[in-house]
Amino acid sequence: MNLIIKGGYVYDPINKVNGEKMDIYIKDGKIVEELPEHKAKVIDASGMVVMPGGVDLHSHIAGSKINLGRLLRPEDHRKDPVPRTRVTRAGVGYSCPSTYIAGYRYAQMGYTTVMEPAMPPLGARHVHEELNDTPIVDKSAYPLFGNNYFVLKYVREGDLEMLKAFIAWLMRATRGYAIKIVNPGGVESWKWGKNVDGLDDTVEGFDVTPRQIITSLARANEELGLPHTIHLHCNNLGVPGNYQTTLETMRAVEDVKPKEGRENTLHIVHCQFNALAGDSWATLRSGAPEIAKYVNSHRHVTLDLGQVIFTDTTTMTGDGPWQFRLYNLTGNKWVNSDVEMEAGAGVVPYTFRKKNPVNAIQWAIGLELALLIYDPWRVYMTTDHPNGGPFTFYPKVIAWLMSRKARTDTMLEIHRAAMRKTTLADIYREYDFYEIAITTRAAPAKVLGLGEKGHLGPGADGDVAIYDINPTEWRPSMYREVEKAFSRAKYTIKGGEIVVVDGEVVSTPLGKTYWVDVEIPEDLEGELMKDLEEGFRNYYTISLSNYPVEDAYLPVQRRVEVVGWR
């Protein structure tokens, strides 16, 4: 279908379009400069907001952790059953939605691209099976590297070339997209009932430190020229005073030279959980101002929020030690999962409560980060679904960012610690529609290296979201209207196909899966394969030949070629 979207107020930051009334043309699934009206279906977007399809760079929607959450929480399913329609399949939703429901609900909000941020390589086949089962959205997955046996081995030996070769091989073997690091060294130590407390602790069983793991992977990533930077879940997540670890981590990679064409070398994930000051839960306060000050003066760091929502949810991370700590704090049920030679994870149900002082501070910290960091190209809106709350609450986060009144109304309902121990009450900044388009679309697409996403210029994918709200008439006091509009897109268009009309799914195409293919020098690849064969023979319960993911698991794929060695 060829489409013309006429007369909407267009927000396309990559092309510096800020609310201009203009037409958007889509032909054969791509944005084009012009199209005859008699050869296309016309959508009248007069008085509405038009943006590129949303891009979520961090949301746990597929793989072992979300499945553990689904198994652990039948009560989560009972509260949100979703019936079948003429077009859509039945399922369950809320914090651990089934695959179909995740795709539908992202599309209903105008999102068209979603990244699964923590793929255990040994479970990559199942991750891709679930991604294929998630309709409409394009997607990818980030393999876990920070506690992988071969990574620790090459870091210990100081062999950057073999580390680069292993990264390239593992991306191809898992059909992965970016380097994900979770509590570097801590999860390996957790297999022995231990953890790491700082960047210079020694990892159990290896004479390496978290600092060495992070800097080595960052250097390898930039020398290879992967499209995205390292995607890092810092040490000491959820621990009072951990903002200092976060700052030290940012400083650790200051000297890593970025690949040509980009400034940043590090992305800190769900930073709210790593922006806690104070030395105990009793003295807890926000460390967001210190982190924002650093990010404002250093170009090599980007981050996403991990915004807290006051609701019942399911926490799940590849950070087993933290999940065990949360289990001990709450007494809630708990699941631990270790992945041989590679990773680990934990799942604990949790409820963020308005009258809980710690939760109130956490809620404020996420918004502080978004509002105190001057450049919206450097900070991206996430809830770390489902850890801070389900992704379906993104419209509420948008309302908080765009309206000080929305934030104030919430502050009046929650524990006063949010006002005493954070700076949020003193922040008057309000995002506009252009900045929302940056933080939810343009900037995530840019930092991911997805050149065909996040904008509406010629050559971009025909992914468009239309929202029934007039930006010339809207005021921050009307924040409930913006929340309503972003909850149910008037239209969502995916690759030139209309998939949502008036908030209802009308079509469910299969989106494509992105993965990175890095060319490896022949002699280096031969040396690596000998090492891998020995390692798999000695330590794995699966043979090396059965490990890689075949193309059959990616029926619609977008292979991103990277030269790697020049």
Q: Is 298 exposed, middle or buried (0-12, 13-18, 19+ CB in 10 A)?
A: middle
CATH number of the domain within which 212 lies: 3.20.20
The answer to the question of residue 360 being in a domain is yes
The answer to the question of residue 341 being in a domain is yes
The 3-state DSSP composition of the chain as helix, strand, coil percent (nearest 5) reads 40, 20, 40
Strands of the sheet containing 266-268, edge to edge, are 180-182, 230-233, 266-268, 301-304, 379-380
Task: With H, G, I as helix, E, B as strand and everything else as coil, classify residue 331.
Answer: coil
Element holding 535 (H helix, E strand): helix 522-539
The model's pTM is 0.97
Q: Domain of 342?
A: 54-369+383-429
Q: Which residues of the chain register pLDDT less than 50? A: none
Confidence (pLDDT) at 545 = 95
DSSP strands (E only) in 62-119: 81-82, 91-92, 111-119
pLDDT tens-place string over residues 17-47: 999 999 999 999 999 999 998 889 999 999 9
The answer to the question of residue 8 being in a domain is no
Confidence (pLDDT) at 565 = 84
Q: Which of 102, 45, 12 is nearest to 501 (CA)?
A: 45
The answer to the question of residue 563 being in a domain is no
The answer to the question of residue 69 being in a domain is yes
Q: Are 148 and 182 in contact (CB under 8 A)?
A: no
- What does the radius of gyration of the chain's CA atoms come to, in whole angstroms? 22
Cα 273 from chain centre: 14
Confidence (pLDDT) at 186 = 97
In the numeric block, the tokens 């020694």 are attached to 202
Give me the number of domains the chain comprises: 1
Confidence (pLDDT) at 338 = 87
Q: Is 514 exposed, middle or buried (0-12, 13-18, 19+ CB in 10 A)?
A: buried
The answer to the question of residue 555 being in a domain is no
Element holding 230 (H helix, E strand): strand 230-233
The answer to the question of residue 451 being in a domain is no
Q: Which of 28, 29, 9 is nearest to 453 (CA)?
A: 29
Q: Which of 350, 355, 364 is nearest to 308 (CA)?
A: 364
The answer to the question of residue 454 being in a domain is no
